[in-house]
Structure 1
């Protein structure tokens, strides 16, 4: 194991150039010859960490292009390692709130070792009786996104009819289970028959369908929701949103978490034609940012940890080893290659 003050090779995933369309593995490359001194800079108030797991998320595609997101996202810097969320162990600390050896999750860099200059937003990991990789997903940003988006934005109640798009994704699989836990009727859409089957057999969805095999999404939704949809958890956008608007109930709620179908077409975003149904049916449609719900994290842990320990909630992960596989893992999100939350294991715990 490397020692503090030692000169090391620090493997990194580097961003080449801004893109349009679907990302390719060649848009990134792994740099193996980066050498650095394993030590905090002088006068630092940060922490030096060893990254253990990295989260691979769809929003990262937005950072690969210069696009006006309202200052919500900052594009990646050319010829620099990309950033994301991960689980790390503190090797050296100049910050009073963090000690050597502690485990944390939060924003880090796609490399083996990182200096985090502003660690105030890192979250300490107190519960290690569950897999550490869960803090890239169900107990990290994905879990908080699902928890805040569903309970705070959707205002669910028992008996609601709930539709979740991209339901096999890191967030969608949780929203569906949260809804079932509340006594709702839940349908999800996914991009393969294998994922559809798992939604019903592993995650307890009442029904699920492969959107790629449905030539008429409006007809598909009417088949599963003959009386209409109370809550739609939006992860896809485009044609799916258009069809959902036709099938919402009066005073239905739509939580807009993401629009995955549009991420690779930012220069020519797809229009939505049925927005008048927001008026006709008094629908509340609200976008949200997970950062608004950080104060709910302790409450989320109190809710989720007992369910995980009692095996009353399931979470699918697709873990690949080594930063070498980072570019392929990120690109694979956009062709449905992953089965569950995509994670990179950088180092063993």
Structure 2
């Protein structure tokens, strides 16, 4: 039995919206009845309700019926059933996959071409800010297995909830912009404050974007119950507040951060991402139902952008 995302009623045979991926009862199954965020991205109204069944029936003998609907053959690449339709509603999982693909490429490139080449491709560095591609690639790159595992856990559980509410395009923009601004903000602050080491300051990781996602969801449903390590129930606002306090303390006292193994984490980037997420959450918040509880755990929690001498991690 599933629960309707709009009214909360329990349904034995729920409907899943093709536009936003939400679960709804019969009354709210149509996109316009649950204020579907996908309607903003929809240019062909007939496509939402078109299953393709009539086309295959009209195609006598079935010749070319399936091929005509394939992207790049008879279908549209960007239309309702095109290539991009596979990612609509699944951008959080796409970014999760890109994180692991990038992590694998870091290892491969570093092993074959050396660390300098790897850094040129994937690390945002204070002495090479003109390498604009690293503003984005550094979001998906990570400094180690625990680092990427912690960020992956949070993105896997929280990302789809925010994407369902905001829509795939807005979620993608939020993730990329907040991740880039968190990295650039940390590097810029390090330069201004004179905390850049002799080798400069560098940063990798998705924690700025992860904290932005966390901030949005905290605004949308601060009482959302989550289960740390599948055991400890706490409300989302407390989880967010706890990480915020830790980030502030470690940012103000680098010595304390170093004493607990967090000296190579740029906690300022956590705060930048969180502020962006909280602000964006306030902007888009509407009366809509979000889940009342969520279970996640594992890893060591989201990492943060690295400190001087990196590449660090975020």
Compute the TM-score of the two structures, normalised by the length of structure 2: 0.29
Structure with the bigger percentage of helix: 2
Structure with the bigger percentage of strand: 1
Larger radius of gyration: 2
